[in-house]
Amino acid sequence: MANSLRPQAELWLRQALGPQAGFRDGQWEAIEALAQQRQRVLVVQRTGWGKSLVYFMATRLLRAQGAGVSILISPLLSLMRNQIESAAQWGLRAATLNSDNADDHPLIEQALLRGEIDLLLISPERLANDRFQAQVWTRLRQQVGLLVVDEAHCISDWGHDFRPNYRRIMNLLTEIPAGTPVIGTTATANDRVVKDVAEILGAGLHIQRGSLTRESLSLYVYPDSLDAATRLTLLSHLLRSIPGSGIIYCTTTRDCRLVADWLQADGVNAKPYFADVEAVGSEDRAELERQLMHNQVKALVSSVALGMGFDKSDLHFVIHYQLPGNIISYYQQIGRAGRGIDKAYIVLMHGPGDEDIQRYFIDTAFPLPEQVSAVIAALRAQPKSRAELQRDVNARLSVLEKILTHLEVEGIIEKQDSAYVLRRSNTEPDYARWHTVTQMRYAELRHMQEYTREQGCLMRFIAAALDDPHPPQRCGRCKNCTAAASKFQPDASAVARAQRFLREGKPLTFEPRRRWSAGLPGFAKTTDIRVNQTGLALCTYYDEGYGALVRRERTHSVRYSDELVAASAKALSEHLRSLPTPPRVIVPVPSLRRPTLVADLAARLAQEVGLPVVNVLEHTVQHPPQTEMRNSFQQALNVLERFTVVSALNGEAVLLVDDLADSRWTLTVLGDLLQRHGAGAVYPFVIAVTNTSD
């Protein structure tokens, strides 16, 4: 029967890719192991090798034999969109269930259960959804013909992109019919990750590893730390020198927007791309991906949201504006380039503060043991919903969700309807393993730093980090192999222009909170709130321009500099002129901890914009800093009943001035309080905002 499968597969291959197409080394062997021998397979091959071809072809062959639907577990929406298009090329009826197509879920689920879909792409989080589990999975699991775990390194907490929800796959392996073939695929797994994934996917796993070296990649590193202005100037130079289109990777959303704004101002058609880009622009991620695919933009300035599985054969460059956290994720990102062209340019630059960002990511990858213990203690008393746990546990919602996922995957708790129930009250997660993984990630960060100083072949350095079984002695193309030297000489006037861009930035607005957190004492309804108007901030707290001044002066000065006050007054004056009913008075936010800082700021702003200051608020009770409160309930509770209004306002619109907005709960509570005591509309103003979302 094996002999009868390959001719059919080769016919479909030529129909899809042309009459000269043939299988690469290892592709048919992996397909045969799945479609004929019904084995479990782990494929570790470089990006562009054709891992998706393996499971697409195996799906078609299995379906032709009467097998059920293939389930492809995939981590990213961008990856799913790309694979849906690719699946059609192979004659497969593919569908996906994700947050972007919620209205279509009922029809897709019905088609699934009728056997009308060949391949379902789904995230582990969606697969674990209570409704999907109850209404679809209980029936669908008996119809699975192939289970595909794409980006299988996500299973392993040793992997560079570990996702706790991927651990749920261990349960799936026991729920699908015995003998169902399983394939895991990745391009970014070293020996430790391969061993861990192999243990999870089960005994008898067939492991196929190929060379990870990419002959089309020309690697270049700027070894010296470059400040932000120099890096921006260098980016403009590179994008005018390198042909084609590509990706610029940044570590944070803030930097994606900053770099894209700079390039646009410099005449380069570059656009930002990150997880919630739709919230700040008119184009969604699918549209931005389409523009890059069709070379309608020079570059997308992207977070890691554009990475795994994005397949553009003629991507000419990948540039890193900041230092990645480890070699393995770096390789995964640069692997987007050079798939169908002879040469792609890979450039790494880095600057001050990059390592601090990566250390923050490492330190917050796992929740704190005391936060985990607080959740277990709260559930020991009685089952509780997620909202109820927020009242008991001082943790951000994202951290609480991470804790619940870890505890649920490890069988310490289980979800029953909307409540979480403690199953093993005297059990804790494997904190020792968490600590070991954290230390390993610090070692990987040091290894990444060593890469920037490497004198030998850069591709060999990467191959060694990935435990490539066939590392090159010399790639002959990287900066060190060719003794290449950068022609970039930063022009002083260009760098000065970038410095002005960083310093001046753009004032930004931030939306008010519109509901109280559920369960706050004294509030019967979450909607019983007097909402502020849209707020204005001069800058973000962590930017390299005014934000750097705010960080320094807030910590080391008793008053803000004339430069910050003048810039704030200019932004504020323009904002006030745009309002239909501008404020008539300034009300400063009082502080027992820093009694003069904001008061002085408000007084100096008042002189500049011509509004009187009225000190109608009094801070009556000291409370812990808001930065120590980790979720909305704790943040709101922390500032409730801490302030009073000492004299009423007679309907006047108010400019409520503070220096910093983080959670926005201080502004929310005070705005509500002022309006309850006769104020009109309340317009918040702060020098800096740490974020513009919850």
**For 402-423, how does the pLDDT look when each residue is reduced to its tens digit (9 = 90+)?**
999 899 888 899 998 889 999 9
pLDDT of residue 692: 44
CB count in 10 Å sphere of residue 494: 17
463/441 Cα distance (integer angstroms): 18
Report DSSP state, residue 464: H
Summarised one tens digit per residue, pLDDT across range 333-372 is 999 999 889 999 999 999 998 999 999 999 989 999 999 9
Give the model confidence (pLDDT) of 285-344 as tens digits: 889 999 999 999 999 999 987 866 677 889 999 999 999 999 989 998 999 999 889 999
- Cα Rg for the chain, rounded, in angstroms? 28
d(CA 481, CA 479): 6
Q: Residue 408: helix, strand or coil by DSSP?
A: helix
Which residues, including other chains, have CB under 8 Å from residue 569's CB and lie 6 or more apart?
A: 604, 605, 608, 609
pLDDT, position 83: 81
Q: What is the mean pLDDT of residues 603-623?
A: 96
Mean pLDDT of 585-608: 96
| Two tokens, residue 198 | 């192999």
- pLDDT score for 77: 66
pLDDT in tens, 141-168: 999 999 999 989 988 888 777 888 888 8
Write out pLDDT tens, residues 231-287.
999 999 999 999 999 999 999 888 999 999 999 999 999 999 998 887 777 788 889
Q: Round the average pLDDT of the chain to a whole number and report it.
A: 91
Residue 8's pLDDT is 95
**What Å distances lie between residue 450 and 293, 351, 358, 436, 459, CA to CA?**
34, 15, 15, 21, 14
Would you state the torsion angle of the CA atoms of residues 307, 308, 309, 311, taken in this order, to the nearest 10 degrees?
Answer: 30
The more confidently predicted of residues 158 and 605 is 605
Q: What is the pLDDT of residues 191-207, one digit of tens each?
A: 999 999 999 898 789 99
| Residue 665 pLDDT greater than 70, yes or no | yes
- pLDDT digits over 54-75, tens only? 999 999 999 999 999 999 998 7
pLDDT value at position 75? Answer: 78
655 pLDDT exceeds 80?
A: yes
- Determine the pLDDT at residue 636: 94
- Full-model pTM: 0.84
- Residue 363: what residue type? D
Helix and strand tally (H, E) in the chain? 27, 23
> What's the pLDDT at 282?
76
pLDDT above 90: percentage of residues in the chain:
70
Give the rounded percent of residues in the chain with a pLDDT score beyond 70: 98
Give the pLDDT band (50/70/90) at residue 78.
Answer: low
pLDDT grade, residue 681 (50/70/90)?
A: very high
485: left (phi over 0), alpha (psi -120 to 50) or beta: beta
DSSP helix/strand/coil, 96: strand
Between CA 143 and CA 120 the distance in angstroms is 12
Q: What pLDDT was estimated at residue 693?
A: 43
Per-residue pLDDT at 568: 97
Q: Which two tokens stand for residue 247?
A: 């990706």
Per-residue pLDDT reduced to its tens digit, 455-468: 999 999 999 999 99
221's enclosing H/E stretch is strand 217-221
Tell me what pLDDT residue 3 has. Answer: 55
For the chain, list the domains and their CATH numbers. 2-209 (3.40.50.300), 217-359+456-501 (3.40.50.300), 362-433 (1.10.10.10), 505-689 (3.40.50.2020)
Tell me what the mean pLDDT of segment 609-616 comes to. 97
- Calculate the alpha carbon distances from 183 to 87, 111, 197, 314, 504 in Å: 17, 24, 11, 28, 52
Report pLDDT for 309: 61
